[in-house]
Structures are given as C-alpha cells and as structure tokens.
Chain A
Amino acid sequence: MEDALQLLSKYGDDAKVMAGGQSLIPLLKLRIASFPYVVNISGLKGLNQIVEKGDYLEIGSLTTISELEENDLVKEKYQALHEAAGLIADPLVRNMGTIGGNVSHGDPSNDIPAVIIALKAKLELAGLRGNRNVDADSFVTDSFTTVLEKGEILKRILIPIPGTNSGGCYIKHKKSAGDFSVAAVAVHLRLEDDERVKSAGIGLTSVAPKPLRAVRGESYLEGKKLTDSTVREAAKIVVSESNPSTDFYGSLEFKKKVLGRITEEAIHLSFERAMVR
C-alpha cells in the first residue's frame, strides 16, 4: 500500500489506480481516456476481507463483486448490498470488478454507491499522511469525480451493523440483462417497536449526475407509520429530489416514472423485511 501511495503521489494526474480494471480497461481500449501510468493495486494483500468488527461491517476495497455477492454474512444481514452485487453487469465482470473500483470510479450509474449511501456507510481513505474517513453520501461529488485527493486510495468501506427491526433492498430497473440501470434505488429502514420508521436511508442510481441520497424522502418517512399513501407520498418526494437527464436509456419523464414505481416497491419490501426480523 505504501508503495502504491508513493507512486500515486509521484505521478499525480499522470497515474490512475486500477483494481479489477472493469471500468478503466474499456476506457483505455476505446481510447476515451489515456494515462501514462496505471498503478495496479490488485495484488495488495489484506484488502479483500468482509468482517464485522465493533459497530461496523468492514469491507476491503479489493473485495470482488462476486465475493460480495456470495458472502453469507452479506446475504443474511445486508440484503441491499447482496442484491446490488448480483445485479452488476455479468459474472465475468463481477469476478474481476471490485467494490472499491465500483465506488471510486464515480460513475452515477454504478450500483454500490447508492447502497452504501442508504446504509449510511463511511469510507476509509488511505494516504501518505495517514487515513481519513468520509461519509458515503459525500464521497462522489459529481459525475466521475470524487473527494479522493492525489495520492489517496479507497481502502475500506465501513457499514454500521444494522440494529434489530431493520431491513432493506436494492431494486434496479434495466433495459436488458447485464446493462446499467434506467434507474435504481436502495432503501434501508429501521423500525420502532410500534412499527413507526425509526430511521430511513435512501440511495439512488442513474437519476442524477452523481449517486444521490434522497434526504427529504428519508426524513419524510422517519417517525411515520407506513401506509400505501405515505409510501406513495415518500416516493413522490424521492422523485422530486432526482435529477435525471434524457439519454439513451429513456427520457427524463420515463426515468422519473420508473424511479417512482421502484421506490414505492423498495420501501414496501424493506418494511416487510424489517418486520420479519
């Protein structure tokens, strides 16, 4: 890690970090981007662990999407993450692609950022001057732009261990198998004993220039009992927070419609899951 950080500091903007290469290599192949130096960190040891430690689930940034998808702990307690992992591209990409790469690339269509936003995760960034933590919802600042500074690498993702009465999901609507989404939503709910929402987390994919936290949607839900009409209203608020653009995946209006439907569905499903626990 020390060597990688040294190289990155030395070459600055001339260098790009590569982990699984599933986003970077296509960019290089299509000559959309080119870098004099590629720092391949895929061989770094100890960065592919998924463990609960203290109050957090710690996920090393080199954990592959397949490892995430197949991990029993994730499957059991972090359903949104498990579901998102299984919906990324295809098995070939998932075998190579890493959670750190998925997040660090800053692509508003990548799925993991919305999930860790909903789960209120923190990101541990390693640098020569030491590590620092940032909140998941402030990590990506714009399309393909993150808070990572020169000479920094995303090291670990720290997800608060969900309390009792909590549940979540990730719903992704895509045109065809293996594709990016038209829109996707991650929801995580924690309920009070009387079934009112204690806390809500909502993260959105593909509906803004960056992965989005639906703050107003979250606070609308908090303290409420979920009925069909509150869920519908919450989805409406979430849609009003989104900012999709018309493109190849559909018109702005279509994406908002899709987002509204999957958000309603995701809140209902998360509630059901939280009730079962």
Chain B
Amino acid sequence: MSSVRWEDMDTAYDATSLVRGKGHFVDDIRLSNMLHMSVMRSPYARGRILGLKGGMSSADFKGKLASVGEGASPSSALSIEPVFATGFVNYVGQPVAAVFADDRYRSTDLLDSIEVDYEPLKPVVTIDDALNSGPIHSGMNSNVLVEATQGKDFPDPNTPIVLEDILENDRVSTNPIEPRGIVTDYHNGVLNVWISTQSVNSIKTGLVESLGMNPDDVRVMQTDTGGAFGSKGGLYPEYVIAAYASMKYGKPVKWIESRREHLASTNPGRGVRGRVKIFAALNGKIAGMKGEVLVDAGAYGTGSGGFSAQYIGFMMTGPYSIENAFVTGRALLTNKVPQGPYRGAGRPEASYFIERMLDLLADELKMDPADVRLLNMSDKPFESPLGMRIDAARPFFETAVNELEYRREAKLTKGVGLSFFVLVPALYTGESARIIVKGGRVSVWLGGNSHGQGHEVFVKKLVNEELGVPEDIVTLYRGDTKMTMVGEGSWGSRSAMVGGAAVVAACRKLKGDVLREFGNYTADNLLSGSYDEFVNDETRRSINSFGANLATVEIGKMGNVKVKKCIAYYDVGRALNRDMVIGQIQGGMAQGIGQTLHEVLSYNEDGQLITSSISDAGVPLAEDLPNFGVKIAENRSILPHGAKGVGESPTIGVPTALIRAIEKARGKRLRKTPVMPEDLME
C-alpha cells in the first residue's frame, strides 16, 4: 500500500476513483510520527476486573461514551458505556486497555504486555436470561433499559379468529467491506479527526461530549467510507481513546479495526423478538393487533436498543388500516455488544412481525395472502392508532400485485412469497448543505456523508437543475465539520430526500444572491462571482412510501434454499438517477437474502461469540443471488425535487417475502431469521 499524506488527498467524492483503486480510505493516511493503537478487549461476557497492569486504561481516562447518531436515545446514567471498562466488563470485545507503537505489528505484540485479572461472573446472554435474571448493572432494578407503549390498550375484540405467534430476527453484523477506523491528530490546540463515517457531525458532537472539549477545538473530516449500513453513525470507545491518546502523546494516532474486532465490538443490528396477536373476522378483516416487542439491547444504553423498542412498535400496523393497535416495547440489557442500527433499523423488524401474521391469517382462512392484505387496506390516507400516517395504500398495492406478476407466479410455483411494507424515512431535523461558488466552480458539502451510495450523483444533478450550471463543474466534497458546522447524517433512507432538499434550498439562496446583485439570474452571473451559502433545512412533515416484494425459492434435499426470483416494486418518488436507485435496491436485496438465509452473530451460553470470520457471519455470496428484478414507481413527493426514500426498502421487503416463499415451499411455519438448512431438511 502506498503512503498517502492527508494534504495530498483529493477530498472530492468520486465513485470512479474507487473502481480504479484510487480511493482514499482512513487506513491510507500516513502522518509522520503516527502511533498505531491496539485495543485489549474483554475475553469474558461478564466479569469483575480484579487487577490491571500495563497499557492505557480507565486508570488514565475515566470518560463515558456519548450517545449520538441514528437512534441515539438518552437512557439511565447507570447503563452508559464507559470508554474503558471500569471495574467490570460486560461483553466479549469490550475495550479494557489500549497500547500504542509506531507500527501495527508492534502495537499488536504489545497487547501481550498487559496483565488483567478477571473474576468471571455468570452472564446474561439471551432475551429470556435478561427477563429472568437480576440486573447486569448494579443500581438498576432490572434489565429493562427502556419500556415504551405505542397506541392505547383496548379490550380484546370479539372476533372468531384470534392468532398469536412469537417471531424473531437474530442479530446480524453490519459487515461493511471496510471495517471501522480513525486517525486523530491533536495539533496547535485543535483535535483533527479523519474517520470512516456516516456523519462527521455526530462524531464531533460525541467526541466533544465524551472528552469535555470546546466544539471549536474539534474538526472531524470524513475519508472515503467503504460501507457502513448504520454502524458508522455513532460514537465508539476506540474513537475517544484514539483522540485522548493523541492529546496525551502529542502525536497522531491511528486505529483500524480488524474483522474479528468488527464482529465482536461493532454494534450489530436486529436481535428482536415479537409476540404478536391479531383479531380478525372470518372474511379476513383485522379488527385489532396487540404486540409485545423485546429488543436485545446488549450491555449498554449507548447503542440504539432503547430507540428500537419504541420505533418498531410505531410501525407495526404496516400498510394496513388496523383500527385498534397497542404495542409494548422493551429494550433489555444483556452481556453482549450494544445493539445498533443496521440498514432498516427497526423498519424490517416491524414489517417482519406484521407480515408474518398476515401470512398466518391467510393460511388460517385458506385465503390468498395478497387478497388478505388488500382487504385490510384503505383507499384513503390512514393514520394508525400507533401514530403512523400513510397514503391510500390499496391503489398502490393492487398495482404492485400486477407489476410483480404475483398471481401468475402463485399458480406456477409452490414456493412463492409476497410482502407489502411502508418505508418511514428518518427525516427528522433535516439536513445541512453548504455551497461555495468561486473561480467558476461550484463546491458542495453535505451534513450527512456518503458511505458508498454516491451522493455526488444526485447533488450534481440537483445543482444543475436549480442553477443551470454544467454538472462537471460541480463537486461534492467529503464531510468536514469545518465546512458544515451543523448537520445530521446519512442513514434512515434520508439522504436524497433531506440532503437533496438542503441542496435545493442552498441553490435557491444563491439564486437570490445573484438576483439581488445583478437584477436577474443567469448561470454566467453566478459563476462570475464568489458566493457562500449554508442552509440547515428542516423537513417536519412525514413522507412515507410504499413497497412490495416477491420471492420464489426451491429447497434442495439438504435443506439448502435456492432463491429463484427476487423482485421489487417500490415507489421511490422521483428517481434522481435510475441506475443509482436500481443499484441501491439490488445491494439491499442481497442483504435481505443474507439476513434470511445465513447471517447471524452466534453466542454460546457463556456469551462467547462463536462467529469468528466474515464467512462464518454468513454474508451472502454470488451463488446465493438470483437475477434481481427491479421495478420502480415514480410518484413525486412533496419535496421540491420530488424524492422519496429507497435505501432501506429492500432490507424491509425481502426478508418477509423470502421467508414466506421458503415456508410455502417447505410447508412448515417459519418464525425466525435466519432460516437454517436443518430446519428445512426433511
């Protein structure tokens, strides 16, 4: 690997540089006198630290982790993760101490110089353990981190059909190709940070809070980011340690996560169980739904477990007009790495719970699953008793049934599954954008940072449309808190929507500037001058969208599932770039297949992580993937540029359609992802 100095880096996003091998990732940064950091991690799921010698540890730095980023939610002070384990360890992989050396081999060797004495304690590993054991953190009354209800409880409707089931999604590692990494350099009173992230602003806020620094003294810059899927939006102990170490030693510090560290210590997603009860008439009309959602939050409240417990419940009526609904959500503490957002972050779980029940209802009544679903939809907009607002669902899904050629497929194939869902993008607090026009070029920064989706494509297009300048003079630069003083992040299917809206708003401000100066707006007038506009555009309205998936499978004699067809029909609003939309959907469908067929983080009864490689973690391979079919509906949103969300749709829609297809092919009710071959072998 060649040596790259930060000053020499081109900080523009450029997807073509990635395919040419010219990307600038955080591990490409080489600064002089740079130290490499290695982290000593807990080998126990739960234990008391009796003694610790060597390395940097809680004896040197007592800070706590700030909760920032997607799904960050305040939780009890007793459950906040310390930067270094203090007194106790609470999950395998928890940072206990750190060592530094001038290269990575030496810092790894130095780990042997640390001596830690543990008294292992009996860990709380599963959701059931959490319910039945005393609290993992002393001072708490139970392992319930957060308890929240959605909707109002109601007396059980007197319907002939009452169905109840327990449904589960096991934990999934996010597994971006590039694991986490950071370089910190404290220099002249300023902490400079380069990081692989979804949000430079979240990382800055987190570091400022955890280190007790002045915001003006921290600058966070994004490097090319090789995937994230939710796991790179928030703060982690290693980031704070690397920043602290740079200040302490007066040298730059680099930490690059290994894959094994990633599996053990990066917040995984899913890890939920739902008990769902539906009440229905003999014609299939659902009168009520009651749910109980249990989230395996892991060892600390600094992940997104608390948020998930509420958010999943909120969406649990799906696209259906169910008049009575009540959901209790609980996030439970266990001795495992904290749960975090993973592509969908609560949306796939909510959809899984309701869609599995719709299929059960169809089987109970011997109705077609499409018919049961359409019957429970409205021709008018609907606000669910849980507070979710949706457009008229039935017209869209009637079209979807046709577009997916479901009825034809259902006649031909035994193993066919259909799913309908609502995508609720994370629009809240909007997004920031800054545009500088200078020297005949247009430079753009966004508060939410591309981690491989190609934000530069929609930015160039929108600037071209709004300002009439050619796309090739427009550049989107990687995230930098010096350029956007506030901003949110790239997650929750939001970037093209709120990032795009912010770009449009900034362009319109520039237009106003030119108009005031010249009396009329032309692109030439704009490019002849120097302008600098920043907006933080708040979108307060909810803009949800619908999607549907179809999957067909065959099951081999060893219980191996072959996905034959996987087709999407999604309303993406106005597609700002069709190829990018299709690419997003195909990538997400692969992840949806992965979660359904193989992906899981397995822990044994001692809370030890058994999954030890990316192969063990079950990421989908080429052999797992069918030829995808992607169909898109373009119903413009109310946003000025018409976009709707897309990124999370496939991880919501595919698992539910696929598990149904497998269930039909095998003729056996399925309740849990991933579906293992041994559950299917006859």
Q: Which A residues are within 8 Å of any B CB, using their own CB?
A: 30-31, 173, 175-179, 182, 247-248, 250-251, 253-254, 257-258, 261
Complex interface bits, B50-75 against A, C-beta within 8 A gives 1, otherwise 0: 00000000000000000000000000
Are A177 and B610 neighbours in the complex by a CB distance under 8 Å? Answer: no
Given A176-B624, A179-B615, A250-B108 contact (CB < 8 Å): no
Are A176 and B260 neighbours in the complex by a CB distance under 8 Å? Answer: no
Are A254 and B678 neighbours in the complex by a CB distance under 8 Å? Answer: yes
Q: Name B75-123 residues within 8 Å CB distance of A.
A: 108
Cα(A123)–Cα(B277), bound, Å: 64
A248 partner, pick from B260, B557, B610, B678, beta carbons under 8 A: B610
Are A31 and B108 neighbours in the complex by a CB distance under 8 Å? Answer: yes
Known contacts A175-B598, A177-B621, then 15 further A-B pairs from the complex at CB < 8 Å, ordered by chain A residue: A31-B108, A176-B598, A176-B624, A179-B615, A182-B558, A247-B610, A248-B610, A248-B611, A250-B676, A250-B677, A253-B678, A258-B558, A258-B681, A261-B557, A261-B558
Cα(A108)–Cα(B265), bound, Å: 30
Chain B nearest Cβ from A187, distance in angstroms: 18
Query: B147 contacts the other chain (Cβ, under 8 Å)?
Result: no
Chain B residues whose C-beta falls within 8 Å of the C-beta of A248 in the assembled complex:
602, 610-611, 616
Given A30-B260, A248-B610, A258-B558, A176-B678 contact (CB < 8 Å): no
Chain B residues whose C-beta falls within 8 Å of the C-beta of A261 in the assembled complex:
557-558
Residue of B nearest to A180 (CB): B615
Query: B7 contacts the other chain (Cβ, under 8 Å)?
Result: no
Dominant SS among interface residues on chain B? loop
Cα(A137)–Cα(B181), bound, Å: 48
Complex interface bits, B306-330 against A, C-beta within 8 A gives 1, otherwise 0: 0000000000000000000000000
Are B678 and A178 neighbours in the complex by a CB distance under 8 Å? Answer: no
Complex interface bits, B663-681 against A, C-beta within 8 A gives 1, otherwise 0: 0000000000000111001
Given A30-B260, A250-B676, A251-B678, A178-B615 contact (CB < 8 Å): yes
Residue of B nearest to A262 (CB): B558
Q: What are 22 A-B residue pairs whose CB atoms fall within 8 Å in the complex?
A: A30-B260, A31-B108, A173-B558, A176-B623, A176-B624, A177-B622, A182-B558, A247-B610, A248-B602, A248-B610, A248-B611, A248-B616, A250-B676, A250-B677, A250-B678, A251-B678, A254-B678, A254-B681, A257-B678, A257-B681, A258-B558, A261-B558
Cα(A259)–Cα(B403), bound, Å: 43
Given A30-B260, A176-B615, A248-B616, A254-B677 contact (CB < 8 Å): yes
Chain B residues whose C-beta falls within 8 Å of the C-beta of A175 in the assembled complex:
598, 677
Most buried by A among B602, B624, B678: B678
Chain A residues whose C-beta falls within 8 Å of the C-beta of B610 in the assembled complex:
247-248
Chain B residues whose C-beta falls within 8 Å of the C-beta of A253 in the assembled complex:
678
What total of chain B residues lie within 8 Å of the partner, measured CB to CB?
18
Chain A nearest Cβ from B27, distance in angstroms: 16
Chain A residues whose C-beta falls within 8 Å of the C-beta of B611 in the assembled complex:
248
Cα(A30)–Cα(B108), bound, Å: 11
Chain B nearest Cβ from A263, distance in angstroms: 13
Residue of B nearest to A30 (CB): B260
Cα(A176)–Cα(B594), bound, Å: 12
Chain B nearest Cβ from A15, distance in angstroms: 20
Q: Name B164-203 residues within 8 Å CB distance of A.
A: none
Are A177 and B623 neighbours in the complex by a CB distance under 8 Å? Answer: yes
A176 partner, pick from B558, B602, B621, B676, beta carbons under 8 A: B621
Complex interface bits, B368-398 against A, C-beta within 8 A gives 1, otherwise 0: 0000000000000000000000000000000
Cα(A253)–Cα(B558), bound, Å: 13
Q: Name B239-291 residues within 8 Å CB distance of A.
A: 260
Chain A nearest Cβ from B603, distance in angstroms: 12
Chain B residues whose C-beta falls within 8 Å of the C-beta of A173 in the assembled complex:
558
Residue of A nearest to B610 (CB): A248
Cα(A68)–Cα(B558), bound, Å: 28
Cα(A175)–Cα(B680), bound, Å: 14
Chain A nearest Cβ from B112, distance in angstroms: 9
Chain B nearest Cβ from A174, distance in angstroms: 10
Chain A nearest Cβ from B591, distance in angstroms: 16
Cα(A257)–Cα(B682), bound, Å: 9
Chain A nearest Cβ from B220, distance in angstroms: 32
Residue of B nearest to A265 (CB): B557
Chain A residues whose C-beta falls within 8 Å of the C-beta of B558 in the assembled complex:
173, 182, 258, 261
Q: Name B584-633 residues within 8 Å CB distance of A.
A: 598, 602, 610-611, 615-616, 621-624
Chain A residues whose C-beta falls within 8 Å of the C-beta of B622 in the assembled complex:
177
Chain B nearest Cβ from A92, distance in angstroms: 14
Q: 8 closest pairs, A vs B, by CB?
A: A254-B678, A177-B623, A176-B621, A250-B678, A173-B558, A258-B558, A177-B621, A248-B610
Cα(A200)–Cα(B425), bound, Å: 63
Chain A residues whose C-beta falls within 8 Å of the C-beta of B677 in the assembled complex:
175, 250, 254
Chain A residues whose C-beta falls within 8 Å of the C-beta of B624 in the assembled complex:
176
Cα(A182)–Cα(B558), bound, Å: 10
Cα(A227)–Cα(B108), bound, Å: 60
Chain B residues whose C-beta falls within 8 Å of the C-beta of A30 in the assembled complex:
260
Cα(A243)–Cα(B681), bound, Å: 20
Complex interface bits, B538-570 against A, C-beta within 8 A gives 1, otherwise 0: 000000000000000000011000000000000
Cα(A74)–Cα(B654), bound, Å: 45
Q: Name B619-659 residues within 8 Å CB distance of A.
A: 621-624
Chain A residues whose C-beta falls within 8 Å of the C-beta of B616 in the assembled complex:
248
Residue of B nearest to A257 (CB): B681
Q: Name B111-157 residues within 8 Å CB distance of A.
A: none
Cα(A261)–Cα(B622), bound, Å: 26
Cα(A247)–Cα(B677), bound, Å: 14
Residue of A nearest to B259 (CB): A30
Chain B residues whose C-beta falls within 8 Å of the C-beta of A179 in the assembled complex:
615
